[in-house]
């Protein structure tokens, strides 16, 4: 059983973060961003990414579903890593953002391959993986597949197994309708349409990657940050993850007023402080 520390973070933790300061411009992006590069892969779409060289351990940011590497958290982390001199990489999944392809043609398995490609080909040495929402699910899948490349995990509103869990929670009649139609209009507050269209094939494929039903042999430090006001992914999912991972170094951090995206100024401060604390821990151990 993982040793879980619960913290009510309605007030921001005071941790030394070097010269980094959350500035007003963070909400609109950093002033000196890295340039977009494209990784060419045989028989796979080109992956768009931004990379900053620096010290180890590096940090890799994994966006959420239908999101991209230009979000507030992703850009704030680049500024933070730059201030510490640590390497940092953020990227877009196949079919998302600036990467090639149409999003509807890809699934959890394809995006897992994207993450593994990044770890295998685009970064050097063990990384701190920071996964937001669905990115938290992919972060865990990557840690299971590449333990030697995973220094630590930071999950933000981790959505492990989320689409599958939500589908199975629907009334039988609704599930039958979806199976007959071949797609599900998955409700969301994060686009103009008010839903994401998920194919039945997408949902069935996602079942192959569910991880909450058995212990996860993840031994690195794990930090799970979740807002108690998250109306998209229940906070208890992070508790389930904490219980399933075998690592004894697991903290679950709740923000009393935190929402799903965790993009408020104090949310980002907490994420930055958490990563800084891990870097300090890993550097000391190293």
The whole-number average pLDDT for the span 221-232 is 97
Given this model, what pLDDT does residue 233 score? 96
Given this model, what pLDDT does residue 23 score? 38
Matching residue, tokens 């992703």: 74
Among the residue ranges 21-25, 90-94, 181-185, 278-282, the one predicted with the least confidence is 21-25
Which residues neighbour 237 within 8 Å (Cβ) at sequence distance 6 or greater? Answer: 158, 159, 160, 161, 162, 212, 226
Given this model, what pLDDT does residue 111 score? 98
Q: In angstroms, how far apart are the furthest CA atoms of the chain? A: 56
Task: Band the pLDDT of 141: cuts 50, 70, 90.
Answer: very high
What digits encode the pLDDT tens for the residues 106-124? 999 999 999 999 999 999 9
Given this model, what pLDDT does residue 286 score? 62
The whole-number average pLDDT for the span 26-37 is 64
Annotation marks residue 230 as catalytic: yes
Task: Kindly name the residue from 99, 133, 157, 238 that is annotated as catalytic.
Answer: 133
Domain ranges of the chain: 37-160+214-285
- Nearest Cα residue to 4 out of 271, 238, 281: 238
Given this model, what pLDDT does residue 189 score? 82
Matching residue, tokens 């907490």: 270
Share in percent of the chain as helix, strand, coil (round to 5): 40, 25, 40
d(CA 126, CA 86) in angstroms, rounded, equals: 12
pTM for the full predicted model: 0.89
Task: Band the pLDDT of 32: cuts 50, 70, 90.
Answer: low
Give me the count of residues in the chain. Answer: 286
Residue 223, helix vs strand vs coil: strand
Task: Band the pLDDT of 194: cuts 50, 70, 90.
Answer: confident
- The CA-atom distances, in angstroms, between 40 and each of 47, 55, 87, 159 are 7, 25, 21, 29
d(CA 128, CA 108) in angstroms, rounded, equals: 21
The per-residue DSSP string of 160-198 comes to TTHHHHHHHTS-HHHHHHHHHHTEEEEE-SSSSSSEEEE
The CA radius of gyration of the chain, in Å to the nearest whole number, is 18
List residues bridging with 131 in a β-sheet. Answer: 62, 155
Given this model, what pLDDT does residue 27 score? 40
Given this model, what pLDDT does residue 186 score? 87
- Nearest Cα residue to 4 out of 285, 250, 262: 250
282 phi and psi angles, rounded to 5 deg: -70, -40
Given this model, what pLDDT does residue 285 score? 75
The whole-number average pLDDT for the span 252-267 is 95
Task: Band the pLDDT of 190: cuts 50, 70, 90.
Answer: confident
d(CA 232, CA 260) in angstroms, rounded, equals: 6
Task: Kindly name the residue from 230, 232, 267, 277 that is annotated as catalytic.
Answer: 230
Annotation marks residue 133 as catalytic: yes
Task: Kindly name the residue from 260, 263, 267, 276 that is annotated as catalytic.
Answer: 260
Residue 119, helix vs strand vs coil: helix
Task: Band the pLDDT of 12: cuts 50, 70, 90.
Answer: very low
Whether the Cβ atoms of residue 75 and residue 26 lie closer than 8 Å to each other: yes
Fold observed for domain 37-160+214-285 = Rossmann fold (3.40.50)
Mean pLDDT, the chain, rounded, equals: 89
């Amino acid at each position: 059983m993982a040793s879980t520390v619960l913290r009510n973070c309605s007030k921001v933790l005071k941790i030394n973060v070097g010269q980094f300061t959350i500035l007003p411009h963070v909400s609109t992006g950093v002033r000196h961003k890295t340039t977009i590069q494209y990784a060419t892969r045989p028989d796979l779409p080109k992956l768009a990414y931004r990379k900053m060289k620096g010290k180890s351990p590096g940090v890799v940011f994994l966006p959420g579903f239908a999101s991209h590497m230009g979000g507030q958290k992703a850009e704030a982390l680049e500024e933070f890593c730059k201030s510490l001199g640590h390497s940092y990489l953020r990227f877009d999944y196949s079919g998302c953002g600036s990467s090639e392809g149409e999003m509807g043609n890809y699934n959890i398995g394809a995006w897992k391959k994207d993450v593994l490609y990044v770890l295998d080909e685009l970064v050097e040495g063990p990384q701190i993986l920071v996964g937001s929402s669905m990115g938290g699910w992919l972060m865990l899948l990557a840690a299971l597949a590449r333990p030697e490349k995973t220094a630590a995990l930071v999950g933000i509103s981790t959505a492990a197994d989320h689409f599958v869990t939500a589908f199975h929670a629907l009334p039988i009649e609704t599930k039958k309708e979806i199976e007959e139609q071949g797609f599900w209009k998955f409700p969301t507050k994060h686009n103009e349409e008010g839903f994401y269209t998920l194919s039945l094939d997408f949902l069935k494929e996602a079942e192959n990657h569910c991880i909450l039903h058995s212990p996860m042999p993840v031994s690195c430090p794990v930090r799970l940050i979740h807002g108690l006001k998250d109306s998209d992914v229940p906070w208890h999912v992070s508790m389930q993850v904490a219980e399933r991972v075998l690592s004894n170094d697991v903290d679950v951090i709740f923000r009393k007023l935190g929402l799903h995206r965790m993009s408020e100024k104090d949310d980002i401060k907490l994420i930055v402080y958490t990563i800084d604390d891990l870097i300090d821990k890993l550097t000391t151990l190293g």
